């Protein structure tokens, strides 16, 4: 991940420049490797870089040959080599960065440029000749991105990767909508991402193609191995992260075998740097010389459900596993920092982000800069336990679409900011555009959790090799068919219990009955929620609250969003006893 700050049409950009650089510095944790800026006319772009691809030459903002176009990007473009080959007009690339291809794409396609990108991204491009600023965000909002305005500088528009870069200079802030592009020339936001599944009333009837689900997820993981630095996988021991880890390990072993055959790879000498791993000119994954052993990472309270499962998966796959633990005290002491980096007061997000935040720090200390993670599968396949209560397939499908569209306010926000807090990048294979198209086009009747059918059944079946004796199993059966645990539950049930107990100590009954007037209709429904909101208010001014969405389950009257609070959780575990 990287950090962006930009302002278009500032009345005195030279005078504003020191402030702009200070705002960009507020996101330096996202990009600790280098800082850069570009100023022209009344516009400034500032960038804090985390180098993953084009390490030696990809400093930003990127500028074209005549200096008329400048670009600041946060993210990764997985198909950049293919796009370079497809350009109609030759372009003199200055770097090996995957992001530089956005400049010639804009030159050829204008506002349609984001349609061609396969990746996760938020970017700001300035066209000096037209005095025009273009900003865009990836289809699902995997990378965080905000837009702001100030009554002190009417006509100016601001962009940044995080709220903390904007609120000191903006009195109005909104999250930048995923799948959209902004054009300062018209001051309009246009949705460029228009998949077939976007309309919830268009309920698909296509039967599940299990082979397509499997191969498209494999391809999604494969392209996300694009890196020039050590990488790993977050392994909770649940289905989603375990599948991602399994596929990544298969690719690692396959490429290592190919590299050994060609280059005589020495498995006893694991290097820290090497040639690019990623999609080559034929849209296939390749590496020139070597591939390191795959690292996997887990965290939990002692004897946590997920920790035990993660160890079992790591042993089965043969990854170099790092099993970390944290104490309840560690988590409680980190809460304020978590809310500062997450920029939310949502209960579910804070619960799950705290262990992920602590784990990310440990991962970065090891020297790993990029990890794969399993976010998105529960939204796509209806994996949350409350989906048991879906009344029909139409409602089930509409809820999956709603959840996917809101990922940028929940799980994507968590994955992006928990890791970026320590200069670590998280990539999410389940949110690949093509995989989404395939998975969201399945008849939702086949996703529903009916009698005898577990959550995410079609995903599990896609990777069940019981009837394929020639195929090595992806996971042990007990993991492949393990019941869903929400991450904040799986790290140890004592974690959520401790949060509730501490909220009771910080929020009295009298306080809870008298919410602050400035909260309006957004009233906390528990003391835990009240506690987080007060911590958020201490860190952020009121204009930031409009960017927060609280995660709540549908078809349920519960106030606690924990999966463990749903009756089906205990019922399922009672069945296993």
Residue 314, domain CATH: 3.40.50.620
Domain contains 450: yes
The answer, yes or no, to whether residue 574 has pLDDT greater than 60, is no
Given strand 172-175, what is the order of strands in its sheet? Answer: 34-40, 43-49, 3-8, 157-160, 146-149, 172-175
Question: Which residue in 311, 2, 331, 11 sits closest to 156, CA to CA?
Answer: 11
Q: Annotation-wise, does 220 bind a ligand? A: no
CB-based contacts of 477, cutoff 8 Å, min separation 6: none
CB-based contacts of 257, cutoff 8 Å, min separation 6: none
Q: Annotation-wise, does 494 bind a ligand? A: no
Same domain, 167 and 310: no
- pLDDT-derived band at 158 (thresholds 50, 70, 90) equals very high
Domain contains 574: no
Same domain, 83 and 166: yes
Same domain, 21 and 52: yes
Residue 316 and residue 327 in contact, taking contact as beta carbons nearer than 8 Å: no
Q: Of 157, 191, 225, at which residue does a domain stop?
A: 191
- pLDDT-derived band at 467 (thresholds 50, 70, 90) equals very high
Same domain, 151 and 252: no
- Among residues of the chain, what percentage have pLDDT more than 90? 81
Taking the model in full, what pTM does it have? 0.93
Q: Annotation-wise, does 187 bind a ligand? A: no
Q: Annotation-wise, does 383 bind a ligand? A: no
Same domain, 331 and 400: yes
Same domain, 83 and 220: no
Reported in sequence order, the residue ranges of 420-515 that DSSP labels E, i.e. its strands, are 425-427
Domain contains 196: no
Same domain, 268 and 373: yes
Domain contains 203: no
What is the per-residue pLDDT for 256? 75
Domain contains 92: yes
Return the CA Rg of the chain.
23
Domain contains 182: yes
Same domain, 118 and 230: no
> Is 9 one of the annotated active-site residues of the chain?
no
Question: Which residue in 236, 563, 202, 200 sits closest to 406, CA to CA?
Answer: 200
Task: Say which of 2, 165, 412, 544 is annotated catalytic.
Answer: 2
The answer, yes or no, to whether residue 247 has pLDDT greater than 50, is yes
Domain contains 573: no
What is the per-residue pLDDT for 490? 58
Residue 393 and residue 443 in contact, taking contact as beta carbons nearer than 8 Å: yes
Same domain, 238 and 343: yes
Residue 437 and residue 196 in contact, taking contact as beta carbons nearer than 8 Å: yes
Residue 385's domain comprises: 210-568
Same domain, 180 and 215: no
Same domain, 282 and 377: yes
- Among residues of the chain, what percentage have pLDDT more than 70? 89
Q: Annotation-wise, does 509 bind a ligand? A: no
Same domain, 339 and 431: yes
Domain contains 85: yes
Q: Of 191, 221, 255, at which residue does a domain stop?
A: 191
**Tens digit of pLDDT for each residue in 417-457?**
999 999 999 999 999 999 999 999 999 999 999 888 999 99
Please state which of the ranges 187-196, 230-239, 431-440 shows the lowest mean pLDDT.
230-239
CATH number for the domain including 65? Answer: 3.60.20.10
Please state which of the ranges 374-378, 384-388, 425-429, 458-462 shows the lowest mean pLDDT.
384-388
Counting the structural domains of the chain, the total is 2
Count CA within 13 A, CB hemisphere, residue 170: 28
């Amino acid at each position: 991940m990287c950090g962006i700050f930009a302002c278009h049409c500032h009345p005195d950009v030279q005078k504003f420049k020191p402030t702009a650089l200070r705002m960009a510095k507020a996101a330096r944790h996202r990009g600790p490797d280098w800082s850069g800026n570009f100023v022209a006319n009344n516009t400034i772009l500032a960038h804090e870089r985390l180098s993953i691809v084009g390490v030696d030459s990809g400093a930003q903002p990127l500028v074209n040959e005549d200096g008329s176009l400048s670009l600041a990007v946060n993210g990764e473009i997985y198909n950049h080599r293919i796009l370079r080959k497809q350009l109609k007009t030759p372009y003199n690339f200055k770097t090996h960065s995957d992001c530089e291809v956005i400049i010639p794409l804009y030159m050829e396609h204008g506002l349609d440029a984001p349609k061609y990108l396969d990746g996760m991204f938020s970017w700001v491009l300035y066209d000096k000749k037209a005095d025009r600023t273009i900003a865009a965000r990836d289809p699902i909002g995997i990378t965080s991105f905000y837009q702001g305005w100030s009554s002190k500088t009417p006509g100016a528009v601001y962009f940044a990767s995080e709220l903390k870069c904007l609120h000191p200079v903006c009195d109005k802030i909104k999250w930048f909508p995923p799948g959209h592009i902004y054009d300062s020339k018209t001051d309009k936001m246009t949705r460029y991402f228009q998949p077939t599944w976007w309309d919830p009333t268009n309920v698909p009837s296509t039967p599940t193609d299990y082979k397509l689900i499997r191969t498209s997820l494999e391809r999604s993981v494969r392209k996300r191995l694009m890196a020039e630095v050590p990488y790993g996988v977050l392994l909770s021991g649940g289905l989603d992260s375990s599948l991602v880890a399994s596929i990544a390990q298969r690719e690692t072993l396959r490429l290592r075998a190919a590299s050994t055959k060609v280059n005589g790879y020495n498995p006893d000498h694991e290097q820290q740097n090497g040639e690019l791993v990623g999609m080559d000119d034929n849209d296939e994954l390749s590496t020139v010389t070597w591939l390191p052993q795959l690292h996997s990472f887990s965290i939990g309270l002692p004897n946590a459900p997920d920790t035990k499962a993660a160890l079992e998966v790591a042993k089965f796959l043969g990854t170099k596993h790092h099993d970390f633990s944290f104490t309840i005290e560690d988590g409680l002491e980190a809460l304020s920092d978590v809310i500062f980096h997450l920029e939310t007061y949502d209960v579910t997000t804070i619960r799950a982000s705290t262990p992920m935040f602590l784990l990310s720090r440990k991962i970065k200390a090891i020297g790993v800069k990029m990890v794969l993670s399993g976010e998105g599968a529960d939204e796509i396949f209806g994996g949350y336990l409350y989906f048991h209560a879906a009344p029909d397939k139409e409602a089930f499908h509409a809820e999956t679409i709603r959840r996917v569209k809101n990922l940028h306010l929940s799980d994507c926000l968590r994955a992006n900011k928990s890791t970026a807090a320590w200069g670590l990048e998280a990539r999410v294979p389940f949110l690949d555009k093509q995989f989404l198209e395939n998975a969201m086009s399945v008849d939702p009747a086949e996703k529903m959790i009916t009698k005898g059918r577990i959550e995410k059944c079609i995903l599990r079946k896609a990777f069940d090799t019981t009837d394929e004796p020639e195929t090595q199993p992806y996971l042990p059966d007990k993991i492949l068919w393990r019941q869903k645990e929400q991450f904040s539950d799986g790290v140890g049930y004592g974690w959520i219990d401790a949060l509730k107990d501490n909220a009771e100590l910080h929020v009295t009954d009298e306080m809870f009955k008298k919410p602050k007037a400035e909260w309006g209709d957004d009233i906390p429904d528990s003391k835990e929620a009240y506690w987080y909101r007060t911590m958020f208010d201490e860190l952020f001014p009121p204009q930031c609250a409009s960017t927060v969405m609280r995660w709540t389950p549908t078809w349920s009257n519960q106030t606690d969003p924990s999966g463990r609070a749903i009756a089906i959780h205990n019922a399922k575990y009672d069945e296993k006893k």
